[in-house]
Chains A and B, each alone.
Chain A
């Protein structure tokens, strides 16, 4: 690989600046190798969407990935019945762009927060997330394990806050408090086209205050900032969360261009226009800039925490048990 790089430098350059030739080893070519490997393997991303029915979760997913990835595209929108208990529905798609393949899984939670009595509605969701960690753990501690363990762990949970304009509801606080400990939560304000700009700013400030007051750490978490550069970028993001988003999968003609938007009698809301809503910021965060970081935090922090818990449990249970117990293999 190093040879090909050196040969790209034209011979005349070699004569005029010999220092490049001699001290250049070609370590940066590793990037090209990684790139090739990644292109071959593809990526996995598992996003969970949580929120009351009708907040535009499926539409937002479709808008984010510019294709019909939500479960509704399978079911059709015939009957929108609210299920009696919370269900967890997972839909996977393979998306490809410029040769990069991604296996995207959208996990939907219909029935969340829709009942009259919503106590413990977070339990099925927590159980699902822990089950995914468990599955990964079991694969990892197998004696004969696969080269690439299929990663079904939830990387990111997008929580939809209804745009009341006042503050968080008790249900929101309870849910986020519990889940921020096991998964990366990204709160968004859904259907933000019902808030004027002042109302939006007020609402966001209130939400940030409440999150701080309740000790809820949403993504990007302060404690996981690695260096000053990270911190600077993340601080900017932290000042903007929760993002006020509007989703749409219909295109309209605006000023001669075709744009995604919502058309009403008083104007057309452009989804990708940052003066209208913050969808573009959310998309950049999730896909263009922080996707790898989200996955890293999930696997190195949330998953590890789960693993440590589980193995400690096993150890305390397995005092004196036979060798077939999984914990003994880990050492």
Chain B
């Protein structure tokens, strides 16, 4: 998922990362049309294959985020979407036929911080706090070509401080095992010190130092996207795709999804306890579903709930430990 105000280079970065052109026919709205727009959720799916390995990549975009004059709760549609995906997976998992579950859960959210401010803005803080318990957040400093190296460092330090100060839990790189190679540990350490990554995206190829590279051409010089001394794009790509993709999925499964699941079950059992007293029908899950399906679902859940109630105590204890 990519989130951030419009004009921060999200689409360009996505295209650069995956060397595709996902946004060919995009229509950009002008200011008038955007005044009354609410945040939308759009999905683009692409199948990438490289050396025999297939990847089904889904990019979830959030046009309209942070653009309006009044941005109160502009993250609500996004949190609802993430919850819906968890919901869907929960139902599929609890269902009888589990062979072909589609995993639509959001594994990672790239949040674009504008480089123009002096750190995090109120809307950035609120967004990350609303989402840090539901998805892996990776903050990025976008359009980093308008910052000098000292400014980049200052901004990164500021952002890191503020993330700590506000208690935002962004995605943490896992610690290296002690038996890993020194080189790997060194790379890992560098990676951690570099967050949040300052990135620049580009879809155009320019000529620099006799080579054709992807970059941006300015009258005063050429910014190369893949040059490590210019920006952290290479580090981001390596991290996202080459080294930590699996870890992102694991954390989503083990932590965020389990949190959601436990929360859901708790709610359901407490409602069940209430209903046993008042004798009203079981609550319908928040997704809009036709009644016939709900009936079947309710019967299934009825049986499973009895099993889950026993497991619930175990889950609660696990969660308690995780919080600590």
- Chain A residues close to B by CB (< 8 Å): 52-56, 80, 82, 114-119, 162-174, 190-191, 193-194, 196-197, 206, 209-210, 213-214, 262-270, 275-276
Contacts and interface: CB of A to CB of B under 8 A. Distances in A.
Given A54-B118, A114-B122, 20 more contacts: A54-B116, A114-B121, A116-B122, A119-B70, A163-B143, A163-B146, A168-B30, A168-B31, A169-B31, A169-B67, A191-B116, A196-B217, A214-B32, A262-B148, A264-B145, A264-B147, A265-B149, A266-B220, A270-B220, A276-B219
A196 B31 contact: no
A118 B123 CA distance: 11
Contacts of B147: 264
Contact of A116 (B28, B114, B123): B123
Contact of B72 (A114, A116, A169, A196): A116
27 contacts: A53-B117, A53-B121, A54-B114, A54-B116, A56-B116, A80-B118, A116-B71, A116-B72, A117-B70, A162-B116, A164-B8, A166-B7, A168-B31, A169-B31, A169-B67, A170-B35, A170-B67, A173-B35, A194-B145, A194-B146, A196-B217, A210-B31, A210-B32, A262-B148, A264-B147, A264-B148, A264-B221
Contacts of B121: 53, 82, 114
A213 B30 CA distance: 11
Interface in B118-174: 118-119, 121-123, 126, 143, 145-149
A172 B31 contact: yes
B70 to A, nearest CB: 5
Given A80-B119, A194-B146, A268 B220 contact: yes
Which 7 residue pairs of A and B lie closest in terms of their CB atoms, listed nearest first?
A: A164-B7, A267-B221, A194-B146, A54-B117, A266-B221, A267-B220, A80-B118
B69 A118 contact: yes
A166 B28 contact: yes
Nearest to A213: B32
Contacts of B237: none
B224 to A, nearest CB: 7
Contacts of B145: 193-194, 264, 266
A214 B33 CA distance: 12
Nearest to A211: B31
Contacts of A54: 114, 116-118
Contacts of A115: 122
Nearest to B218: A196
B204 to A, nearest CB: 9
B222 interface: yes
A214 B149 CA distance: 39
Say whether chain A's binding surface is mostly helix, strand, loop, or mixed: loop
Interface string B31-49: 1101100000000000000
A194 B257 CA distance: 39
A55 B69 CA distance: 18
A110 to B, nearest CB: 11
Interface of B: 5-8, 28, 30-32, 34-35, 67-72, 74, 114-119, 121-123, 126, 143, 145-149, 216-224, 229-230
B118 A173 contact: no
Nearest to A199: B216
Residue from B8, B30, B35, B115 having most chain A Cβ neighbours under 10 A? B30
Contacts of B223: 266
B131 to A, nearest CB: 15
Contacts of A118: 69-71
Contact of A275 (B28, B67, B126, B219): B219
A53 B7 contact: no
A191 B218 contact: no
A191 B151 CA distance: 13
Contacts of A171: 69
Contacts of B219: 197, 275-276
A166 B6 contact: yes
Given A115-B122, A116-B72, A263-B148, A167 B218 contact: no
B79 to A, nearest CB: 15
Contacts of B217: 196
A171 B123 CA distance: 15
Contact of B146 (A191, A214, A276): A191
A281 to B, nearest CB: 15
B231 to A, nearest CB: 9
